[in-house]
Amino acid sequence: MLERGENGYNEVVAYFGDEILNEGQIDRKKLAEIVFNDSKQLEVLESITHPLIRAKFVSEMRALPENAVVVYEIPLLAESISRQKQLDFDHVIVLESHVEIRVTRLIERGLSAKEAQLRIANQHSDEQRKEIATHLIKNEGSLEELINALSQWWSKFISPEIAK
């Protein structure tokens, strides 16, 4: 979507300018620095990318058989829903973790503490995310623990539906 030649790329570069480019590619770190320090700029970026993401989602869904099981990872679903009509999902899992854990994980991915805090500050609150959830899963342990919790959830809610 933000790769050179894609619609998103062209629109984002047209709005934010060449200063977000590094060797012709969008430098996501530079772009993040701009949008996470200015909520209006974040809204502009989302107004460009969210319709493209939705269109791709709808196109992919239409290409599947009616009874297909589809899992989408949508990090900012709560934020997207507040600005658009909610998409129709049978299940919405919200992963819960303390802010300190989220900050630590973002730092481990290469963000500074300030960048991590800015990103989290620009997201919906835990309560707002819980409002869209059909299921809540704690995500405060290891990746293995999360995978185990998701596997248990799958066995309880999805496997019986597939077996019908």
The overall average pLDDT reported for the chain is: 91
CA–CA dist 8, 20 (Å, integer):
14
pLDDT higher than 60, residue 132 = yes
pLDDT higher than 50, residue 153 = yes
Count H helices, E strands: the chain? 9, 4
pTM of the full predicted structure?
Answer: 0.74
Query: So what's the pLDDT on residue 87?
Result: 60
The CATH number given to 67-164 is: 3.40.50.300
Start-end of CATH 3.40.50.300 domains in the chain = 67-164
Q: Using alpha carbons, list the distances in angstroms from residue 101 to 98, 106, 140, 145.
A: 5, 9, 7, 15
Query: So what's the pLDDT on residue 88?
Result: 75
